[in-house]
A and B are shown apart, each in its own frame.
Chain A
């Protein structure tokens, strides 16, 4: 879930231009960060993370000089003349990650698609969640960018066709995309039913291709790769314009917002600033980064916008009200609602009793945390919250196990070293002793000789 942290390559006080590299990725699953504005680096330290814990996260603060001067970019006139590896390299260098919410580095996915011989690219235009309309807006206003980005990705992974799944409640987006893709028969526009969670890759793949992604397998293993429409547009900008990912479209919505809408916001700007831009009717009772179903709860708005945030929701107390949970009446509503075909009530009962392994036995690892079960539960049991807790607990357990194992290996290595040291010492001592006795014996034998002579 968390990639490796990028390492800063700028110094405090340094002047930077828009699009200049601020931090370089260090490991495979990681993405570089570029300056979203031109200005001066004022701090390299910690800021509050856009995370329900409210803990700190490493960050570089850039103060804008309000000129928005771009660094010199390296546009490519014909991306289809580039080698697929070169496209992956440029995409990685531009810091493009999945903008649907998972923020998985796009270039890593390209390499995966190439390795597993993916034949179909699926472009995800099935809006992730209710309240959000950023994907819709991108398809309506930047359809050419999305289609060209999708074609560049197809070239990068060697896919033969692309299926653009658009929910059937977005006729304008579908029309705009159909016009943009008219010249490219390999890019097919497909309507999909507008039913949450259609924006989830596994559900979209099944709807479009009829193939089910096996448990514990990646989508690439059934020959498809999914990229969000915003990611396609970002790939277009990264390759054709040479611009790194420094801004993203974000939906500002919720009943507390005076003028809800979609805006292109520079990454790293404060959530409070974006809300102030759209205006607030009242102090929001709850702030969420992302969608209402799977988004991240924010403790306050003084947190930066991150690459994976498709929305900022400011809810009034009426919208955010959580009814009190009652006992499970075993109605099975959650089972019918679960898009993964799991038994949420059984999993939650096991987790509640502290039996995490029991929940794993009910395929807890296949849960996509969509929240459908908790939404439909007539007893308002926080089902998905139980699963989030259990997943965290299980990964903590796994980390502890790995740590214990590493400790065991180190302890064994130390014992082996101590034994070897002791043996070597003993050998040296034995050799010295042997030498001494030999010398003594020699002097003993020499002496009689001396006597004889």
Chain B
């Protein structure tokens, strides 16, 4: 019996020491989780989560300092993906998700001040000074960064209209 006790004790000590040394010398500088989380975020650097950009938000998520539901433009899909990656359960009912949104410019009150086009993270707004601006729908991510910048409240967000090719059969509701 003593042989077994001694050998296991020795094994435990030796491997424990090895692991301790490895943890010190082979430590990964950057948290790989951060890069993975950043890949899940929309990457438009809109700042609606309160962080400067998506990289900072990902870092906070990795440290566990931010909620998985922090990204408003990402909506439910991104919150779900983050929660799955972090292995946590979240309450999705709190996440407001009106589906994808698109910015639109009310042309009659746009003064052409160019403030919105400067903040757009994806260059989705075109228009020269003192000319009516417009939104390129294909490029707009619906982050809403432009809405607050508009001095005349000419920019708003509207849900992306459902078209026939994009319509989805509802899930069958059975008991």
Contact = CB atoms under 8 A, between A and B. Distances in A.
B44 A411 contact: yes
Interface residues of A, number: 35
A260 B169 CA distance: 30
Contacts of B139: 406-407, 410
B168 A392 contact: yes
B77 interface: yes
Contact of A411 (B121, B162, B171, B175): B121
A27 interface: no
The interface centre, meaning the residue of B100, B141, B168 with most chain A CB atoms within 10 A of its CB, is B168
B174 A381 contact: yes
Contacts of B43: 404, 407-408, 411-412
A53 B167 contact: yes
Interface string A412-424: 1111000000000
Nearest to B174: A325
Contacts, number: 78
Contacts of A56: 164
Contacts of A406: 138-139
B172 A396 contact: no
A441 B167 CA distance: 72
Interface in B90-112: 100
B169 A388 contact: yes
Contacts of B44: 407-408, 411
B92 to A, nearest CB: 11
Contacts of B174: 325, 381-382
Given A407-B122, A408-B42, A2 B171 contact: no
The interface centre, meaning the residue of B77, B124, B139, B172 with most chain A CB atoms within 10 A of its CB, is B172
B130 interface: no
Contacts of B24: none
Interface string B33-52: 00000000011110000000
Q: Is the interface of A mostly helix, strand, loop or mixed?
A: helix
Contacts of B77: 397, 400
B9 interface: no
The interface centre, meaning the residue of A53, A407, A414 with most chain B CB atoms within 10 A of its CB, is A407
Nearest to A51: B164
B163 interface: yes
A57 B164 contact: yes
B89 interface: no
Given A2-B164, A51-B167, A408-B43, A414 B100 contact: no
Contact of A55 (B122, B138, B163): B163
B165 interface: yes
Given A53-B162, A55-B163, A386 B172 contact: yes
Nearest to B161: A55
Contact of B169 (A381, A389, A411, A415): A389
A375 to B, nearest CB: 15
Nearest to B123: A414
A389 B172 contact: yes
Q: Which 10 A-B pairs have the closest CB atoms?
A: A392-B168, A408-B43, A410-B122, A2-B165, A407-B141, A53-B167, A382-B172, A325-B174, A388-B169, A389-B169
Given A404-B43, A410-B121, 6 more contacts: A51-B164, A53-B167, A381-B174, A386-B171, A400-B100, A408-B42
